[in-house]
Amino acid sequence: MSKVYATFEAPDEIQNKALEVLEISRDTGKIKKGSNEATKAVERGNAELVLIGGDVEPEEIVMHLPALCDEKQIPYMIINKQNDVGAASGLDVGSAAAAIVKAGKAKDLLVEVVGQISELRG
């Protein structure tokens, strides 16, 4: 992943945990799908975690999200494949981004993932 906007790379294990949080949140909490909805959730300060597809083309669609997340102090992670983000969001197609607004039953796992992201970022 050599994207300009990617300031850190998460190992597959952490990416999979984050996708699991997204799936559980989809079923028991609340998520926003797509770069526009994720951007709105971040701007409003509602997002607890943002997942961004690492293979989005053109990358301009999502390259604003990491900086916006940093500004609002919302954790984010680049997921290697946007199809994984889409699948975890309950879509049959890829999703450029997704935001977890309410974690539901994934709250504890969300806290764990956010802690691991903080460690990766230093």
Amino acid (one-letter) located at 65:
L
Place of tokens 């799936």: 23
Domain ranges of the chain: 12-121
Q: What is the rounded CA–CA span in Å between residue 52 and residue 49?
A: 10
Residue 8 has a pLDDT of: 83
Per-residue confidence of the chain (122 residues) as pLDDT tens digits?
A: 456 777 788 999 999 999 999 999 999 999 999 999 999 999 999 999 999 999 999 999 999 999 999 999 999 999 999 999 999 999 999 999 999 999 999 999 999 999 999 999 87
Q: What is the pLDDT of residue 1?
A: 44
Please give the pLDDT value at position 121. 85
Q: Residue holding tokens 């300009």? A: 4
Give the residue among 121, 95, 90, 103 at the shortest CA–CA distance from 30. Answer: 103
Query: What pLDDT does 101 receive?
Result: 98
For every residue of 20-43, DSSP letters joined together read: HHHHHHHHHSEEEESHHHHHHHHH
Nearest CA to 72 out of 41, 103, 51, 101 is that of: 41
Instruction: Tell the CATH topology of 12-121.
Output: 60s Ribosomal Protein L30; Chain: A; (3.30.1330)
Phi first, then psi: give them for residue 3, nearest 5 degrees: -85, 140
pTM value is 0.95
